[in-house]
Each structure stands twice: as C-alpha cells, then as structure tokens.
Structure 1
C-alpha cells in the first residue's frame, strides 16, 4: 500500500545557515521604495524564507499593498520577528511560522494556521532556499544533495499540495528560481539543478492550474545581497567581487527584486502565467 509519509532526513547542521540578517554588514536594503496603492488589498499571502533578504522585502511590500502576510522561516527568530514588525508597521497583519518546509507535515501546518487565522489564501510565494558551494562535484555528499533538493523544490510541491484546496480563481503562486538555472554556476551544482527543477515546476504547474483561474509564475534573481551569500552561497573570493560581473556592475538589493513578485501576485499581471521575470542587473538570458 502506498504511503503519504515522506522520508525526510534531519537538516544538515551548519552553524552559518540559513544566515542572520541581523549580523550581516552591510545591511541589505529591503524597505519598499514607493507608496502602496492597494494592489493586494484584502488578500492573504504566505511568503516562505521571509525572515530576511528577498523574502523579507516581498513580505513587507505585500503588507504595504494591503495583504495580510504569513512569514514562514526555518529558525532565524530574531530576523523573522523584525519582518513581522515591519509588516505591522505598514498597517497590516502578520504572523510568524517557524519550521522546515522540507517536511510535508510542516507545510500542511503552515496552511492550516493561515486558514485558521484569516480564513483564506490568495497568494503563495515559494522563496525559501539554501545553497552550498562546492568546487568539485565529488565533494557533494548524498546528504547535502538530498537536503538541497528537499528545501528548494520538494518544499514547493508539499506547500502547493497543502494550499491547493484553498486557492480559488484569481489566486497566484510565485516561485523563486535563479539566474543560475539559465547560465549555470560551477560552484553551485546542486543549487542550480534545483533552480532548473523550479522553473520546470512553474511552467508545468501553470499548465495544470491556469484553466482554473490560478496563475503560476516565477522570478529568477541575479546576484542579490542577502544573508544566503556570505553564510553559505559564496566563497570569500567571490564575495569580494559579488555582482560585479553583471552589466550594471553591482549586486542587486532585495527591494529591487520584490516588485517583480508583487507584479506577478496582483492583477497587474492578469494575462501572465507560466512566465519568469529576470531582475538580474542586465544579464540577457534565454527564457
């Protein structure tokens, strides 16, 4: 008999992950850059990985635009509380939820909490992810490989499965992929592979749901200054020149990426599904 239980292994213990924004210097710029216009008024959103970086910028921008926001994160409680407070300072409501979304039961618990608190779910942003630099494919252990896929792509399946019955016509799902899916990244083989899977997931899920009035799109950021990079995503040498290879010659800030998520979450993008936006500093990619 088939079982619904997943073989979810314990997280790999790494003191530097997922990375604290409170300890990061210089601080990423996540504050919304323009006044809200009510584009998500009355909506309820889940944003994963919202304790810091891109996720925080998205959560606070959504709150400014009128959404109630569930801030989902792994274990950075101080950062997550700051995100909640920033959302509330925008005049909206927010709640924090800690847990490993690589476990399907955790995704279900998150959705149950949101429905119990607010009675609906309109926008799901799958942003949580992790990455580990390895210069040699032989250095990637089976545990790391499984963990990276579990966090980055399995969690999206689990959360969408949990949320599906609550997503009505007009709902939107926005997944975070990466420029590494399009150009590759020598030191991030497992991470880049998950991002390819996320892009395929986005396009295929769109095909499944678009006829039911639910839009599914993605955002593929380039090099963005977040805790993920110094804590686990880039070597010391790469950090010294982080983002300088882009045509703009610099890394992006989280608040330069968040508007792409807002656009895909609201009715401004009502004729878009199965698409990917590319806030990446001017790098031209296919697809």
Structure 2
C-alpha cells in the first residue's frame, strides 16, 4: 500500500517548476532491490531532473544503467537527481538546455554518446503544462512554447538518437490520461500529449524492422512539479482525490512502467501505452 499524504495549497511562479519546495515531497524512491535488468545500458531521460523523470532515472540506476539527464534550467533539482543516481551505483551526466531547439537536442545526444560510448534507451519525457484561461485567451507564445517542449523535443531527440540506437533499443514517450479523456482546462497540453501518443505509435511501426521498440506511458494525476507550477493553490489542495483510488499517484508508481518497457520484460511490447492513472478507465 502507498500512504495518502494530504496535499496542502501551494503554487510556484515558474514552468518548469521545482521539486525541492514541494510539500509533501514527491515520493520517487524505488521499492525493490535491483536485479540488473538494465545492466550495462545507457539511458537518456529528458526532463530527468524531477518528477517522473527523476523517479525513472533513479530506478534505472538501481537496475544497472548509466544516465544522461537532460533538463531545462532546474539546476538544484538536477544536482539532487545526479546524487541519487550515483547513490544507486550509476553514473549521471547532467545536460541543461532547451530541447525544443533542434541543436540542443542534438547536443544532448552527442554528449551522452561521447560520455558513455553508447545509447540504448531514450525516454522522451520533458514537457511543460499551462492552465488554459479559455481557447480565446490562449496566446501564441504560450502555445508555441508548449508545442516546442512537448512535441518538437520528442521529434528532435529521437532524430538525433536514431543513428546510435541498435537492435534491442527502446524509446519511451510520456503522454497523459488527458490525451484519452481530454481536459477542458488543459486544451493545449492535452493536444500535445495526443501528439506524443501518435508519435510513439507511428514510430513503433517505422522502427519495428530495426528491432527498436517504441512505447508510451500515460500517467494520470501524479504529484510532480507540474502541479504547483501550473495550478492555483486551491486546485492543488488534495490534488488527485477525484480518482477512483482517491489520491494522487507518486512518481515511483509510474517509473515502474518505464522500467518494464525498457527492459527485456517488455520485449513483446511495441506501439503500446501503459496507464498508471489511479483507476480511470480509458480506451487504450
């Protein structure tokens, strides 16, 4: 069982937001001893400084992987994630920058391969979220920023990674429950998550003959910096209580899906999407 800590009102004035001020702290710690499922592999996790990305990085390190952690500018969170990866016995390379710019995505992949000599797993996870005031008031700058972060970075990172991915490699894209059910207050964000889902499914067909698996994970309400960074305090309070399970999910509960899809446990999965969402039934 997972405890259900009450989430008090809080907010931050930045996107991406930071994990270190959140109360309670998101729970990213793996629950089980590693068994070497990713031993000798190298993963590039975008948005790996905090939230789901941090939980994935720490779990991958426990399972034997070395990590390249790409993020925008949340340096304090990134340094903590690096420490956590190293605590698990892995090596960590921090790569700050805007992956919505193609040159930065190419640089992130190049630095990963230069440091580790290979790339086996790409986790397209970096994203931004903004609460809509209504479609009429959605400004072009915010819309383009959301698209660049949540869609273009997935294209650019995958393009850069493909020359280095060999048979048996895995690409995992973060999408959202909102790609399936929609969200009137997150139209732009939900649209980008629909795009990331379609991207994963299309790339799975494009790469299956090369032995590269491409899948997606569609989290529901998870307690990450997304929430205080994009919502007013009154909406943050008791976040996730409307799910069938009655609580928000924690990052560690989502990271296990990324491990399954990256490891040989998921060897017969491509073009699929896993749904850690607290019980919301969606058309998969």
TM bin (shorter chain): over 0.9
Matched, 1:265 2:265: no
What are the residue-to-residue correspondences of 1:136-215 with 2, within 5 Å?
Answer: 136-215=134-213
Structure 2 counterpart of 1:247, from 244, 261, 275: 244
Distance 2:76 2:135 in 1: 35
1:125 aligns to what SS in structure 2? strand
Q: Which runs of 5+ in 1 are unaligned?
A: 1-13
Distance 2:253 2:281 in 1: 17
1:133: which partner in 2?
131
1:120 aligns to what SS in structure 2? coil
Summarize deviations over 1:39-63 as a string: whole Å, max 9, x none. 0000000001111100000000000
Distance 2:40 2:86 in 1: 15
1:82 aligns to what SS in structure 2? helix
Structure 2 counterpart of 1:35, from 33, 36, 46: 33
Q: State the TM-score, normalizing by the size of structure 1.
A: 0.94
Whose relative contact order is higher, 1 or 2, with alpha carbons under 8 Å and at least 6 apart? 2
Matched, 1:286 2:283: yes
2:197 aligns to what SS in structure 1? helix
Distance 1:196 1:235 in 2: 25
Indicate conservation of the 8 Å contact 2:132/2:188, yes or no.
no
Indicate conservation of the 8 Å contact 1:69/1:95, yes or no.
yes
1:16: which partner in 2?
14
Deviation at 1:235, TM superposition (A): 3.1
Q: State the TM-score, normalizing by the size of structure 2.
A: 0.94
Distance 2:237 2:29 in 1: 25
How many residues are matched? Answer: 273
Summarize deviations over 1:107-153 as a string: whole Å, max 9, x none. 11011111111110000001110010013111210111111010001
2:219: which partner in 1?
221
Deviation at 1:240, TM superposition (A): 1.9
Deviation at 1:208, TM superposition (A): 0.1
What are the residue-to-residue correspondences of 1:43-54 with 2, within 5 Å?
Answer: 43-54=41-52
1:28 aligns to what SS in structure 2? coil
Runs of 4+ in 1 over 3 A off after TM superposition: none
1:222 aligns to what SS in structure 2? coil
